[in-house]
Amino acid sequence: MAVSSAAVQPRPSILSRSLSLLADSRNALGFGFMLPAAALLLVFLTYPLGLGIWLGFTDARIGRPGIFIGIENYQYLSEDAVFWLSVFNTLLYTISASILKFALGLWLALILNQNLPFKSFFRAIVLLPWVVPTVLSAIAFWWIYDSQFSILSWALIEMGLIDHRINFLGDPVNARASVIAANIWRGIPFVAITLLAGLQTIPQSLYEAATLDGASRWQLFRFVTLPLLTPIIAITMTFSVLFTFTDFQLIYVLTRGGPVNATHLMATLSFQRGISGGQLGEGAAIAVAMIPFLLAAILFSYFGLQRRKWQQGGGD
Amino acid sequence: MAETAIKKTKRQELDEGGMGYLQSLPRRVVTVYLPLLVFVIVLLFPFYWMTITAIKPNLEMTDYANFNPLWVVHPTFEHIRYLLFDTSYPGWLLNTIIISTAATFLSLLAAVFAAYAIERLRFSGARPVGLAIFLAYLVPPSILFIPLSVMVFNLGLYDTPFALILTYPTFLVPFCTWLLMGYFRSIPFELEECALIDGASRWQILIKIVLPLSVPGLISAGIFAFTLSWNEFIYALTFIQSSENKTVPVGVLTELVRSDVYEWGALMAGALIGSLPVVVLYSFFVEHYVSSMTGAVKE
């Protein structure tokens, strides 16, 4: 008993000494503190990212690990009209929705930046579409776009503007316009509120000085507001473009890609082929095909941030 | 940073709209109030339509000739009763609450340590790691769900809540870390230096000084994370099979929509009740929400 305790005695002190040594080293401590986040992200983000790229080169199916088939998936996709249609749809969806989100969001931000009664109340309710789960608000849109009982058709007929119900989601052109409109509805609040934050950092004295110099309202906007807002516009729109490009929920609820694939985005096509159709390899290849576009958006964001540093007079 | 952001807005509220008084009232009506009214109506109409449909009897819902669709003559709680007692909806709500809470808690825990290490320990390579975390936030779930579904299946997590609790942090951790880094940056170095001189360990500094000072940041990161997990759809759709394990967004969409009969009343009630928790949470902390959102972007 006594022997064993004597033998054990010195060990804790070495352990605690090395522990306190570790606690003093910022690198060791930093490593320890980073561990939970790094483990989560490496296992569930970096690894799947690599696995996805690998799956794109295999013919994996659900329940069967695939074998390496080189670029066969991509060769197949490059001859697949539906895939190219989905690329076209995604670009159309992203570009038109982003431009309109930006224009309307900026307009709303400029309005909210005015001296309004109940200002904080308005700011709060404007954010609502962004807070509510997309799927649930998309279900509301589904009902709004119903072919028989659409409230929009009813209102337009009552006003005498049209004489028959609009087939919102059944016709390719209408369906595209409808999903874009729903996406804009959901995206405006985010753009408006972040741009509003940017607007509030612009000092009023600049406007006063410009007004004294005889600037018109348009010139105030063009030569004072816009240049000072550019950095935050770059960041906001990068995020907006990124999330619009990879959108899935809205399409899945409203059209599932139909009619005749007119609203299939790359994300929904990837889901349809990969999960519903069981062709994991092909689905992964479609997802991987989105990466170049995303990289372009991220580079755009990076240069936006650089420009911001330069504008603030910092180095780099 | 949050404090300064709030102060900044307070100060700027005073000179905001600085030269607005130069505009005449009719001009303001046309340039400000009318567009604002249109925006508010368009942004809020789907919620109104959701609510009114949820309490409308089926007869009124489809008879536009005799009833004005914008109003309800005989409000009924039949759809809500059906939803709560004849479907698995309460179970989905419970699942969503459990999954969101667990994922939020896990992500916050990881994010606090990571943000503190990157922002304050400044270990070698802290900057690249910070950048990597930011880039991780830009990886969208739409390109991860296929490989993740393979992983989830191989790990034996398929159709269990753990599949979601463990995968939600992929977008929550980067976001929370990024937000908390901003908060930690606003805490003066001097406080930590004093504590170090008094013999506090890094751990004690984090627990007793930094965390109490960043409670507002923790709250907003927590709310954001909770909302994001509550709203998540694609992972929940892919990784969960059985009805009793589904979350609210997936359950409402896949279980309430039967082959050809759309139960619009129940669907709208489901959408409404599923939105309420995040809206209530948000309305309590709206000031936090707006200022931290704008603050996070500003940094």
What would the 3-class secondary structure string for B68-79 be?
A: CCCCCCCCCCHH
> How many angstroms separate the CA of residue A3 from the nearest CA in chain B?
35
User: Which chain A residues are closer than 8 Å to B249 by Cβ?
Assistant: 133-136, 249
Task: Give chain A's domains with CATH numbers.
Answer: 2-55 (no CATH), 74-311 (1.10.3720.10)
User: Which chain A residues are closer than 8 Å to B289 by Cβ?
Assistant: 127
CA distances from A142 to A156, A265, B46 (A): 18, 18, 10
- On whether residue B211 sits in a domain, the answer given is yes
What string of DSSP letters covers B16-32? TTTTGGGS-HHHHIIII
- On whether residue B224 sits in a domain, the answer given is yes
- On whether residue B195 sits in a domain, the answer given is yes
| Partner-chain contact A136 B252, CB within 8 Å | yes
Give the A:B interface size as CB pairs under 8 Å.
296
> Which residues make Cβ contacts (< 8 Å) with residue A116, sequence separation at least 6?
A122, B17, B32, B36
| Partner-chain contact A41 B50, CB within 8 Å | no
At residue B9 the predicted structure's pLDDT band, cuts being 50, 70 and 90, is: very low
- Confidence check: pLDDT of B13 > 60: no
User: Which chain B residues are closer than 8 Å to A270 by Cβ?
Assistant: 142-143, 146
Report how far residue B194's alpha carbon sits from residue B210's, in angstroms, rounded to the nearest whole number.
13
Instruction: Give chain B's domain count.
Output: 1
Mutate to test the interface with A, among B1, B100, B146, B289 (most CBs of A within 10 A): B146
Rounded mean pLDDT of A118-123? 82
Angle subtended by helix axes B34-54 and A81-112, to nearest 10: 120
Buried-state track B42-53, b at ≥16 Cβ within 10 A, e below 16: ebebbbebbbbb
Number of H helices, E strands in chain B: 18, 0
Angle subtended by helix axes A172-200 and A226-245, to nearest 10: 140
- CATH number for the domain spanning B140: value is 1.10.3720.10
User: Which chain A residues are closer than 8 Å to B35 by Cβ?
Assistant: 107, 111
- Confidence check: pLDDT of A105 > 90: yes
Q: What is the pLDDT of residue B299?
A: 38
- On whether residue B115 sits in a domain, the answer given is yes
- On whether residue B111 sits in a domain, the answer given is yes
Q: Which domain holds residue B210?
A: 99-244+274-298
Report how far residue A312's alpha carbon sits from residue A197's, in angstroms, rounded to the nearest whole number.
17
| Partner-chain contact A52 B143, CB within 8 Å | yes
Rounded mean pLDDT of B181-209? 86
Q: Shortest CB distance from A280 goes to which of B150, B203, B272? A: B150
Number of H helices, E strands in chain A: 17, 0
Q: What type of residue sits at position A183?
A: N
> How many angstroms separate the CA of residue B216 from the nearest CA in chain A?
18
**CA nearest neighbour of B246 among B78, B26, B96:** B96
| Partner-chain contact B148 A283, CB within 8 Å | no
Q: What type of residue sits at position A224?
A: V
Instruction: At B11, list the tokens.
Output: 């100060």
Q: Shortest CB distance from A200 goes to which of B12, B70, B150? A: B12
**CA nearest neighbour of B173 among B115, B102, B217, B98:** B115
What string of DSSP letters covers A228-272? HHHHHHHHHHHHHHHHHHT--HHHHHHTTT-STTTT--HHHHHHI
Percent of chain B scoring above 90 in pLDDT: 30
Rounded mean pLDDT of A15-35? 75
Mutate to test the interface with B, among A101, A139, A144, A265 (most CBs of B within 10 A): A139
Q: Shortest CB distance from A45 goes to which of B64, B170, B264? A: B170
What are the strands, taking DSSP E only, across A135-192? none
Average pLDDT, chain B: 83
> Which residues make Cβ contacts (< 8 Å) with residue A90, sequence separation at least 6?
A245, A265, A266, A267, A290, A293
Report how far residue B44's alpha carbon sits from residue B35's, in angstroms, rounded to the nearest whole number.
14
Question: In terms of CA atoms, which chain A residue is nearest residue B286?
Answer: A124
| Partner-chain contact B114 A40, CB within 8 Å | no
Mutate to test the interface with B, among A135, A196, A218, A266 (most CBs of B within 10 A): A135
Write out pLDDT tens, residues A35-83: 899 999 999 999 999 999 999 998 888 878 888 888 888 999 999 999 9
Q: What is the pLDDT of residue B4?
A: 45
Instruction: At A195, list the tokens.
Output: 């741009």
Q: How many CB atoms lie within 10 A of CB A216?
A: 10
> How many angstroms separate the CA of residue A165 from the nearest CA in chain B?
13
Question: In terms of CA atoms, which chain A residue is nearest residue B233?
Answer: A249
User: Which chain B residues are closer than 8 Å to A201 by Cβ?
Assistant: 8, 298
Q: What is the pLDDT of residue B204?
A: 86
**CA nearest neighbour of B173 among B229, B97, B237:** B229
> How many angstroms separate the CA of residue B286 from the nearest CA in chain A?
7
User: Which chain B residues are closer than 8 Å to A292 by Cβ?
Assistant: none
Write out pLDDT tens, residues A80-90: 999 999 999 99
- Confidence check: pLDDT of B298 > 70: no
- Confidence check: pLDDT of A216 > 80: yes
Report how far residue A30's alpha carbon sits from residue A36's, in angstroms, rounded to the nearest whole number.
11
